[in-house]
Amino acid sequence: MWKTILRRIILMIPQVIILSIFIFLLAQAMPGDPFTGLINPNMDPAVIEKMREAAGLNDPWHIQYIRWIGNAIHGDFGTSFLYKLPVAEIIGERALNTIWLSLLTVILTYLIALPLGLFAGRYQNSWFDKVVVVYNFFSFAVPIFIFALLTLFIFGYRLDWFPTTGSVSSDVVKGTTAYFFDKLHHITLPAISQAFLATAVTIQYLRSEVIDAKTQDFVRTARSKGVPTNKVFTRHIFRNASLPIASQLGYEITGLISGSVVIEKIFGYPGIGKLFIDSIVQRDYTVITALILILGIATLIGTLLSDIIMSIVDPRIRIQ
Amino acid sequence: MAKEKKVNENVQESVPPMGMTMIAREFKKDKLAMFSLAVLVIILLGVFIGSVIINQDQIMRVSIFDKYAAPGTFSTTNNTTFILGADEGGRDVFGQLIIGARNSILIGFTITIVTSIIGVGLGIVSGYYGGAIDNILMRIVDFIMILPIQMIIIVFVTIVPKYNVWSFIGIMSSFYWVGKARLFRSKALSESRRDYVSASKTLGTSDFKIMFRELMPNLSSLIITNLTMNFAANIGIETTLTFLGFGLPTNVPSLGTLIGYASNGDVLSNKTWIWLPASVLILVMMLSINYVGQALKRSADARQRLG
């Protein structure tokens, strides 16, 4: 068990290194450097050149890379041109918002997907199953930005049930229950839009898993022992089908966080997706580079977590 | 004698229907798939015939007097009626819808073809040869899989000099082939262990011929299904990126451009004629392409067939 985890972590190291080199080169390709903003008629170009030299921007790229990655390991991603604040601070603040949104989305996704998938599989070809199949087809085919726009239009603007932008109203005090509920009120609509589409894979997986399991030997054994039908489903089939879902959690959350660009842009939600778009528009490259690096590493950790959970849940995987 | 002949005839009749016949039977059986196909054909015909008739320069001309003209308004500057109203610059939404749809469909299609050639090709090579080639290719695939692709594409879109439609297609294609490569690699891997491949090798057939003349046709149903679903997905990705403002260049309107106007709360809530038709068009296209794709998928799998 520990051997597997250790091997997976060691395998991750070259990936992290290549990822960081790739992102560093990408950052080099972006126009401008921290002193571009200083260029003006009153400033002697020679002075700027001296400042660049002092900051090490004229060194060969591998030396610059080592300096950059060294700082990044210590949590220093440089300073944002736009906000004049340390990048880590800006991202940390926004990341919290995105994590809350992703968390609620995941909870909603499983609340919808587990019962729908499991019962559609159990009562295959019933009217309930047919409704679930139609819903599943829609959630597969509909692009998220159109669905999100429509929900914002109907529930945000027309019915006025939910706020249309932001993550919290300006007039509530931090730390109170009103603050919590106000945040929840802001998060609900984007979370529902995301969850509606995120359920697609899970429902389809659970449904086909239950349908497959119904004809398998362990179910026949349970039935022939005289286990009541309900118990066969809840104890044997459902549990077997839903365990692998737990292992998807890592993928799910990292997928949601790196896919947050669209949903946060539409709902004006101040998370890292919106931070990314704002930084791109303002050419705030230190923030962009840091965001991509952090998300890449988060994805790696997410897959690692998923693999670890999977190997705990399903011992067959450990063998290799 | 006569009886024997009859038996032979029967034997011939019982040969299972293949390829196109099977697909046609599936569509005949599933009325909704037939309907989706019809809707798709009508949209495609309408968009392509419409875009030939429509004068793009006239549509993209800004006329400030027609700003946010409501649907059905008669425009004195252009001497035409705005069927679906006008946008912020007084440009005809209906015309932009047709041209945008044409661009989105063509670009989605091109990306699908390019990524399929790369993905299926590399996948089959990787799965067939195995060993070092497979190892290297799959490590590259693994690497691209962990990247936050949407964000990287947006970065590339903003830093590529002389950005145009072809750069967009190039950027998209260089990231979206990986899923296909992985899928077709696993299929080619199991297929290349089959007897017919070994037999062909023993006969001295070249690897290239085995891979693309013998192995690939056996994956053709999967390729067709994958292509169809992918076509819908690529239209979705292109319109999403254009909606965000990082897709097609501004002089090439897409369905995403029209929907992008809805980032403005006033347009979203009060001027639905600008973004709603494009959204509905994308929705209808997505649903019908996906439904057709599912029917194709079923016809390729004997256990799921309806027909």
Our CA-based measurement puts residue B143 at a distance from the nearest CA of chain A, in whole angstroms, of 7
Give the C-alpha separation, A65 to A86, whole Å. Answer: 19
pLDDT at A320: 47
pLDDT value at residue B241? 92
CB–CB contact B263 A146 (8 Å): no
Asked if A261 and B154 come within 8 Å (Cβ–Cβ), the reply is yes
Residue B7: predicted pLDDT: 52
Supply the CATH classification number for the domain A91-268: 1.10.3720.10
Interatomic CA distance for residues A26 and A13, integer angstroms: 20
Please judge whether A145 and B290 are an interchain contact, meaning their C-beta atoms are less than 8 angstroms apart: no
Q: What residues contact residue A249 under an 8 Å CB cut-off, 6+ apart?
A: A106, A305, A306, A309
Q: Which one of B30, B32, B155 makes the best mutation probe of the A interface by having the most chain A beta carbons within 10 Å?
A: B155
Contacting residues of B for A160, CB less than 8 Å apart: none
Of A250, A290, A273, the closest CA to residue A144 belongs to: A273
Distance, in Å, from the CA atom of B20 to the CA atom of B26, rounded to the nearest integer, reads 10
| Cα B163 to Cα A70: distance, rounded to the nearest angstrom | 34
- For B144, nearest residue in chain A (alpha carbons): A19
CA distance A126 to chain B (A): 17
Position B108 scores a pLDDT of 93
Residues of chain B in contact with residue A166, where contact means CB-CB under 8 angstroms, are none
pLDDT value for A169: 73
Q: Are A262 and B269 within 8 A, CB to CB?
A: no
Q: Which residue ranges of chain A lie beneath pLDDT 70?
A: 32-43, 54-58, 315-320
* The token pair that represents A242 in the structure block: 């839903």
Q: Nearest chain B Cα to A140, which residue?
A: B290
For residue B150, which residues of chain A lie inside 8 Å, CB to CB? 258-259, 261-262
CA torsion sign for A172, A176, A182, A187 is: positive
User: What are the φ/ψ torsions at residue B74 (nearest 5 degrees)?
Assistant: -90, 125
Report yes or no: B236 at the A interface, CB cutoff 8 Å: yes
- Per-residue pLDDT 10s for chain B (307 aa) are 455 555 555 555 555 556 677 778 878 888 888 899 999 999 999 999 988 887 777 767 776 666 766 776 666 666 666 667 777 766 778 888 888 899 999 999 999 999 999 999 999 999 998 889 898 998 889 888 888 888 889 988 888 888 888 999 999 999 999 989 999 998 898 888 888 888 888 888 888 888 888 888 888 888 888 999 999 999 999 999 999 888 888 788 888 888 888 887 777 777 888 888 889 999 999 999 999 988 888 887 766 676 5
Residue A244 has a pLDDT of 74
* Chain B hits for A280, Cβ within 8 Å: 154-155, 158, 246
Query: How far, rounded to the nearest angstrom, does the alpha carbon of residue A44 sit from its chain's CA centroid?
Result: 46
So what's the ipTM on this one? 0.83
Chain A interface residues (partner B, CB cutoff 8 A): 15, 18-19, 22, 26, 29-31, 137-138, 140-146, 149-150, 152-153, 157-158, 164-165, 258-259, 261-262, 265-266, 276-277, 280-281, 283, 288, 291-292, 295-296, 299-300, 303
d(CA A80, CA A88): 9
Distance from C-alpha of A129 to C-alpha of A207, rounded to nearest angstrom: 9
CB-based contact, B174 to chain A, within 8 Å: no
Bridge partners of residue B81, in order along the sequence: B74
Instruction: State whether the Cα torsion B237-B243-B247-B253 is positive or negative.
Output: positive
CB B177 within 8 A of CB B122: yes
Secondary structure E strands in A61-134: none
Residue A137: list chain B partners with CB under 8 A.
287, 290-291, 294
The shortest C-alpha distance from B293 to chain A (Å) reads 11
Per domain, the residue ranges of chain A are 91-268
Most distant CA atoms of chain A, gap in Å: 90
The end-to-end CA distance of chain A, in Å, is 11
pLDDT at residue B268 in the model: 78
* Amino acid found at A166: G
Comparing C-alpha atoms, which of A176, A257, A262 is closest to residue B240?
A262
Find chain A residues with C-beta within 8 A of B287's C-beta: 137-138, 141-142
Closest chain A residue to B236, measured at CA: A143
